[in-house]
Amino acid sequence: MVDAGRLLIVDDEESMLQMLSVVTSKGGYKVTLAHNGEEGLAVLEQEPFDLILCDLKMPRLNGHEFLKKTKELGIDAPIIMMSAYAAIEDAVEAMKGGAYDFITKPFKADEVLLTLGRAREHLRLRQENSLLRRQIDELQGGHGLDDMIAKSSIMLSFLKTVAKVAQYDTTVLITGESGTGKELVARGIHRQSRRADKPFLAVNCGGMPASLLESELFGYVKGAFTGAERDRNGIFQEANGGTLFLDEIGELPPEAQVKLLRVLQEREVRPVGGVRTVPVDVRVLAATARDLEEEVKAGRFREDLFYRINVIRLHVPPLRERMEDLPLLCARLLDRIAAKLDRQPPELLPATLAVLLRHCWPGNVRELENVLERAMVLAEGNVIMPEHLPENIVELPESCGTGIEKVLGTYSLKKGQREMERALIAQALSATGGNKSKAGLLLEISYPSLLSKMKEYGL
C-alpha cells in the first residue's frame, strides 16, 4: 500500500473516529486519533503530522479554537475542518482562520479521500516551492549575483563569465533581446566589482529627448542655454568613482556619440557651454537590443565608438534557450510579485508549469513576470491554475513551430510518435533537473511508465 502520510483525526464522536480511521487507513494514511481539541494539541506537540482532520463542534476546545492554537504553535500541516451543522459563516471563519478546506457531515468515503488527496497535493506543492527557494539561495550564493537565477548550463557559463568580468574596470557591451535582464547583469557586475560601494547610475539613452540628453550626461554651466541659471553636474560627474549603465546605447544621437567617445578616450567631460574639462573616473557598461554591427554599416552608429564600448561583449541568453531555469524563475518572481501585492506567494500546479514550459517567451523574463502577476491577481485562492494564464500562453503559439516534418525529421507516424515522446521526456527531465517524479507529473504519466520509456529511448 502507498504511504499517503501521517494523519491526525480530531473528533469527540467515537463512531466518527472509527469510521474515518478505517476509511483513511485503507487510503494509505498512518492514522492517529484524538477525542477532543486539547488531546489533539497534546499529540501535535509530541510528533509531526502531514494532514489534520478536525471536527468543528467539540466541547472544551472547539474547532475554531483548535485552529487558532495550531497557528500559535507554528503547525503548518493542512487542516480540514468537519461539521454536521454546516453554515456558510462557519466555513468562511474556518478558511479565514487558516483551514485548508471545509467538509460537511455526513460525507462519503470517496469525498473524504478526495479532499485529503487535494490537501496532500497542496502540501507537496508547498514543499516543492520551499525546495525551489532553497535552490535559489544556493545558486545565488554560488555566483554572487543576487538577482540572477540559473541552473541551466548555458546560464551558469554566462554567469561565470560575468563574475570574471566584474573584477576589472573594462568597458562591457551587454547584448540580448528585450526583457532578458540586461540591467540586472549590469547591476550584478557593479555589486561584484571594487566599485560596489560607489554610485551605480542607469540612463536609458532612448528615454529622453536628444536636446536634453547631452546636458543630462555631461552637465552644463550657467548661461549655457535658456533656463540654465546655475552650473549643474551631469550624470558622469554624479557617478564619479562608480559605474554608469547606458541602456539602449544604440539609440544615442550622433552628437552625443561624439562626446561619449571623447569621455571614454580621455576620461574627462566638458559640460554644455563650458570651456574647461572635468576629469571623471567612471566604469561604463552599455546595453542594447539592436545589432550594432548593422547600425554601424547603416551609418547610424559610429564605428570608432562601437569598438570602444565593445571591449568585452556579454550576450544574455533568451529565456527559450534556458527553459530549465523557468521553475526557479517562477518561484523567485512569485515571491517578488507577492511582496508587491502584499500577499502570500502562490503555488503553481504541475499542469500550469507544463503550459509555461511549452511557451516560446518572445518577451523573455519580463513577459514571464507580467504573465505571473496577471495570474496571481486572477487566482481566487493561493494556487495558480492553467485557466489563470492568458489565452496566447495556453494555446501553443504558431511561432514556436517550423514545420512538423522538420522538427521530427520524418513523415512517418510511427517514427514521429517515438521522436515526439523522446523529445518531450527529455525536455521534462531537463526542466525538472532530472527529478523523475516531477517529470512524470509534467508528462501526466505514472512513475513506472516514465522509467519504462526512459529505458526504451535510452534516456
Query: How many other β-carbons are positioned within 10 Å of the β-carbon of residue 381?
Result: 10
Higher pLDDT, 418 or 223: 223
> Which of the two residues, 149 and 194, has the higher pLDDT score?
194
Q: In a 3-state reduction of DSSP, which class is residue 303?
A: helix
pLDDT at 244 over 70: yes
Fold of 153-317: Rossmann fold (3.40.50)
Q: What is the tens place of the pLDDT at every residue in 56-88?
A: 888 888 888 898 899 888 888 899 988 876 566
For residue 357, pLDDT beyond 90 = no
Rounded mean pLDDT, 124-145: 57
Strands 278-279 and 268-269: antiparallel
pLDDT band at 128 (very low <50, low <70, confident <90, very high): low
The pLDDT, as a whole number, for residue 147 is 60
**pLDDT exceeds cutoff 60 at 323:** yes
Least confident range from 211-225, 314-328, 332-346: namely 211-225
| 319-401 belongs to CATH 3.30.70.560 | no
Tell me the pLDDT tens digit for each residue of 247-268. 999 999 888 899 899 999 999 9
Neighbours of 332 (CB within 10 A): 21
- pLDDT tens string 360-418: 899 999 999 999 999 999 987 788 888 999 988 876 544 444 444 444 445 555 666 77
pLDDT for residue 100? 85
Contact 220/235 with Cβ under 8 angstroms? no
All residues at 6 or more sequence positions from 128 whose CB lies less than 8 Å from its CB, including other chains:
438
Per-residue confidence (pLDDT) for residue 189, from 0 to 100: 92
Beta-bridged to residue 174, according to DSSP, are 287, 314
Q: Mention the CATH class of domain 404-459.
A: mainly alpha
Mean pLDDT score of the chain: 84
Q: Could you tell me which residues are beta bridge partners of residue 287?
A: 174
Residue 63: per-residue pLDDT: 87
pTM to 2 decimal places: 0.62
Q: Domain map of the chain by residue range?
A: 5-128, 153-317, 319-401, 404-459
Indicate if 319-401 has the same CATH topology as 5-128: no
pLDDT at 407: 41
Q: How confident is the model at residue 451 (pLDDT cuts 50, 70, 90)?
A: confident
Distance CA 318, CA 128 (A): 25
- pLDDT tens sequence across 404-444: 444 444 555 566 677 678 778 877 887 777 788 878 887 88
Is the confidence at residue 171, as pLDDT, over 90?
A: yes
Rounded to whole angstroms, the Cα distance separating 298 from 292 reads 10
Q: Is the pLDDT of residue 274 over 90?
A: no
pLDDT for res 427 = 77
Q: Which residues contact 6 (CB under 8 A, 6 or more apart)?
A: 29, 30, 32, 47, 48, 49, 50, 51
Write the CATH number of the domain with boundaries 5-128. 3.40.50.2300
Taking only the tens place, the pLDDT of each residue in 176-187 is 999 999 999 999
Residues 13-53 have pLDDT tens digits of: 898 999 999 999 988 899 999 999 899 999 998 888 999 99
Cell 504558431 identifies what position? Answer: 398
Average pLDDT for 188-201: 92
Q: Exposure of 223 by Cβ count < 10 A (0-12 exposed, 13-18 middle, 19+ buried)?
A: exposed
